[in-house]
Amino acid sequence: MALTRSLVATKADEYREHEPLYPVEREGIETFPAAFAAGDFGWRDVEWVVQWYYRRSLGAVSNAERRDREDRFGRNDFEDVRDAIADITAATDPADRLDRLTALEGVDVPVASAFLLFCDPDACIVVGEREWAVLRDHGHLADSYPDPPSVSEYRAYLETCRSLADRLDCDMWTLYRACWRLWKE
């Protein structure tokens, strides 16, 4: 089955109807870009992004690993996190954005991609094994998921997603939701 505009729209709608985190994710997509750009956010906001990345899988990441990552992120000084967010909202190159975020403790490329999604949901998308597998299964990526992906692998993934979103006339948030639901099939 090819990824078509109709299929992506249908699966994104299913996500809204069936995924338990959708209401809080939508709120984040609607509020975080402006808050992050203006520097009008607190520790709980950035902590939420990290927690979201691991908890969206609802048990697929072990509790021990999730806690370790969240605890490691919690060791960052808030001013360092604030500066990283300011830097990524000002930068446009994905590699520069990822480098700044991955300099923070507990942030690898996948978690950094979650920050990019919530900073710029029109142009950026989160990366994870599920999303990658769907794009690979539909012929848009050749290789298996690199665990974790490097900055250059994320950049190639992002360009693939941007091209696909342009072709399907959708934003990255819609493409993400569709991929998440397609993985479940």
CA distance 100 to 118: 16
Half-sphere exposure of 103 (CA within 13 A, CB side): 14
CA distance 50 to 73: 8
pTM of the predicted structure, to 2 decimals:
0.94
Half-sphere exposure of 48 (CA within 13 A, CB side): 14
- Cβ proximity of 157 and 127 under 8 Å: yes
Selection from 144, 46, 56 nearest residue 104 by Cα: 46
CA distance 113 to 151: 10
Q: What is the pLDDT of residue 60?
A: 67
CA distance 94 to 96: 5
Render each residue's pLDDT in the chain as its tens digit; 185 residues.
689 999 999 999 999 999 999 999 999 999 999 999 999 999 999 999 999 998 887 666 677 888 888 999 999 999 999 999 999 988 888 889 999 999 999 999 999 999 999 999 999 999 999 999 999 999 999 999 998 999 999 999 999 999 999 999 999 999 999 999 999 77
- Cβ proximity of 115 and 94 under 8 Å: no
